[in-house]
């Protein structure tokens, strides 16, 4: 059996998680669940913050998918529902691990991984995320994603410049 379809699906799910996280962060956590997410925008008093509950919930889903995918089947038939669940859980786990290292470790200093800032791309991710935290309030703007944060920040900056030019032209 080829592992390529499994690896491809796992990678696709890990990539999709960036868009899912961006959606949740911008449309749900900064709006409807600000009461829980606000702890992440304040100075932390211990190692944990209430916002960590979101990571625990997603980890629970990933563990459930992996457990069901492996339950008594080993490698389920290629393309079967247990195989899909296993690959999806693996993709969620890969994204979660990368997110934990870059976001919690590099951007917020909760892990000793500051040496990763030597890598230009990772430094750009850290800086883009820190830009999101500058205001420390619910209205803080983009980027809401992490791994595509620099691109999101650049797009928001272009949109703001265009809006500013249009406002100046309308006032003239």
Q: Cβ distance 142 to 50 under 8 Å?
A: no
Determine the pLDDT at residue 90.
96
> Concatenated DSSP letters for the chain?
--SHHHHHHHHHHHHHHHHHHHHIIIIIITTTTHHHHGGGGS--SSS--GGGHHHHHHHHHHHHHHHHHHTTTSSPPTTSHHHHHHHHHHHHHHHHHHHIIIIIIIIT-SSS-GGGGGSHHHHHHHHHHHHHHSS-STT--S---STTHHHHHHHHHHHHHHHHHHHHHHH-
Determine the pLDDT at residue 95.
96
* Cα 35 to chain centroid, rounded: 19
* Chain segment 89-141, per-residue pLDDT in tens: 999 999 999 999 999 999 888 899 999 999 999 998 898 888 887 765 656 66
Query: ∠ CA 64-32-24 to the nearest 5 degrees?
Result: 45
pTM here is 0.83
Determine the pLDDT at residue 11.
96
Mean pLDDT, rounded, for 68-82? 67
* Chain segment 132-159, per-residue pLDDT in tens: 877 656 566 666 778 887 787 777 777 6
Residue 8 clears pLDDT 70, i.e. is over it = yes
* Chain segment 17-46, per-residue pLDDT in tens: 999 998 998 888 888 888 888 888 887 788
Between 161 and 121, the higher pLDDT residue: 121
Confidence of residue 64 (pLDDT cuts 50, 70, 90): very high
Residue 13 clears pLDDT 90, i.e. is over it = yes
Token couple for 102: 């870059």
């Amino acid at each position: 059996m080829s592992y390529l379809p499994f690896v491809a699906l796992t990678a696709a799910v890990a990539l999709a998680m960036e868009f899912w996280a961006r959606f949740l962060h911008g449309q749900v956590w900064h709006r409807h669940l600000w009461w829980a997410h606000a702890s992440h925008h304040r100075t932390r008093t211990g190692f944990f913050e209430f916002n960590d509950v979101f990571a625990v919930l997603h980890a629970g889903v990933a563990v459930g998918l992996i457990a069901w995918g492996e339950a008594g089947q080993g490698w389920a038939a290629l393309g079967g529902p247990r195989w899909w669940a296993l690959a999806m859980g693996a993709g969620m786990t890969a994204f979660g691990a990368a997110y934990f290292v870059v976001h919690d470790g590099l951007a917020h200093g909760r892990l000793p991984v500051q040496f990763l800032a030597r890598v230009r791309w990772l430094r750009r991710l850290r800086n883009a995320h820190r830009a999101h935290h500058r205001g420390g309030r619910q209205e803080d703007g983009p980027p809401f994603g992490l791994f595509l944060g620099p691109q999101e920040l650049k797009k928001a900056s272009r949109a703001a410049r265009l809006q500013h030019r249009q406002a100046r032209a309308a006032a003239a």
